[in-house]
Amino acid sequence: MLKKIQQYYDALVEKCKHADFLALLAIRIYLLPVIYEGAHSKVLGFSNTVAWFAAPHSQGGLDLPFPTFLAFLATSTEVLGLILIALGLFTRIIAIPMAFVMSVASAMVHWSHGWLAIASNDMESAQRMAGFIHWLSVNFPGRYNYITELGDPVILNNGMEFSVTYFIMLMVLFFYGGGRYVSADYWLKRLTLR
């Protein structure tokens, strides 16, 4: 009986493997708006990115050497990463510099804020937000209803949670590629095998 269950299970898993490309496609699609936001803001605000890279820590900057060069590298990596991941082209190759950019972002920007991306209720920033929301409900109930009717407002903690998640997703793309059928890598490989 147990052996028969195992055989059915193995057969089901084998059938599901025909759709395994969907998981890799989903990761690529999920990453696109994330990468787009970073690339878009860096391209349109390149001088601000350079200034942020150059500014000392005491002024909220990253205090990096060669800020123009490093801003160019980060910007071009994200722009190229956006295009290649969207196409599923050279997915494994582009995952490496993209994962590096995520690692640097996590270490330099998010590390000092801990793990959580969104502040938990016991954090002071969340308590201040709760105080503000209470004040708003008492003094401006119409505005309070407008702000809260679609959900509770939250405050970002800016922790490492999101950047580590993106790093893990990029590592999946590095190890497994862009997926079958819906990536340029798949079709290039099929063409070269002929």
Q: Which pLDDT score is estimated for 57?
A: 87
Torsion of CA 17, 22, 24, 28, to 10 degrees: 180
Write the pLDDT tens digit of every residue in 111-140: 888 899 999 988 888 899 999 999 999 999
Measured between alpha carbons, how far is 175 from 184 in angstroms, rounded to an integer? Answer: 16
Measured between alpha carbons, how far is 47 from 67 in angstroms, rounded to an integer? Answer: 10
Write the pLDDT tens digit of every residue in 127-176: 999 999 999 999 999 999 998 898 888 888 888 999 999 999 999 999 99
Average pLDDT of span 40-55: 95
Between residues 107 and 50, which one has the greater pLDDT?
Answer: 50
Measured between alpha carbons, how far is 105 from 31 in angstroms, rounded to an integer? Answer: 15
Q: Which pLDDT score is estimated for 181?
A: 93
Percentage of the chain modeled with pLDDT above 70: 100
Average pLDDT of span 39-67: 94
Residue written as tokens 């890598």? 185
Distance of CA 139 to the CA centre of its chain: 38
